[in-house]
Chains A and B, each alone.
Chain A
Amino acid sequence: MNGAREALAGDPLFAGLSGTELDLIAAAARPVRLGARERVLREGDPARGCWLIHSGCVALDLAVPGRGQVVVQTLGRGDVLGWSWLVPPYHWQFGAVTVQPTTMTELDTAQLQAVAEQDPRFGYTLTLALFGALALRLQATRARLLDLYRVPDGQP
């Protein structure tokens, strides 16, 4: 899967991985091409797979009674889509739908987990890479929680 291997090598997410480790991931990877407004994940479905986005835009959404499908986050090039395959109860907590035509690499997470069982060192490196992406997402989410752009209270 030469194209997938190249796409992975060029992704900053996997900058710390060795050639062999990239090969292992590439073996579980396949390219995905979607048009606009195509649903990638449905909230509540069993969580299988994760995606590295190369181009386009994907919206994470949630059904909120009275507000319909609320988009809580959009993702683009360089972002990882899908964490719940690692976390019990292994169901998607949010939905995901493309906003524009989008290209991604889909990873067979069941296969990757099987490899990780046999090769804990690989599992650790892969998890660390994903963890880094998650940490930045959390930092950005916390920054949004601060509501920094609001009008400050308590005036002179």
Chain B
Amino acid sequence: MPRFSLSAVGVDRPGIVAAVSGALAGLGGNLEDSTMTFLQGQFAILLVVETAPHVTTSMLEGALVPAADRFDLVVTVRALDDQNVSSAASVEGDGGTPWTIAVHGADRTGIVHGVTSALADAGGNVVDLSTHLVGAPEAPMYVMTLRVTLPGHPDPEAAAERVRASAEALGVHCSVRPDDADTL
């Protein structure tokens, strides 16, 4: 069965998810994993959908045009095949050690790039990430929380230390700790 990744972003208002999911259902689509969230007045959709066998990328794009026009959405559709599907189809399918990283401090440019670059250099993989810009406009604070894996890293604590050091160099606080077990 063909599968597609789909992203859609537009100014938030009621009805977006209903319209997009309706277009997918019309093509026999089974909406699999997704993240849909409100971000500073925008609504962002990211999902993977499996459709009926005959569906092509252009058919899916066409089915989404009414919703895109009605809600002024920027939509991208991409067919998933062997070349562009990660072998780590499940969250921790790469066999890595899951860690949670929390970063917070005075807002400045470069925090996400600095910390995630250090993580990538250490062989880490981001599986989930959120950021919040909070506080007064004259003293904004940035909070970033990541769930990451360190696949096959021989010294996870050394990798964690590199990430902490990258945050320190940016003047923000960082904690890196092994993820809690799923069963509390």
Do the two chains bind?
no
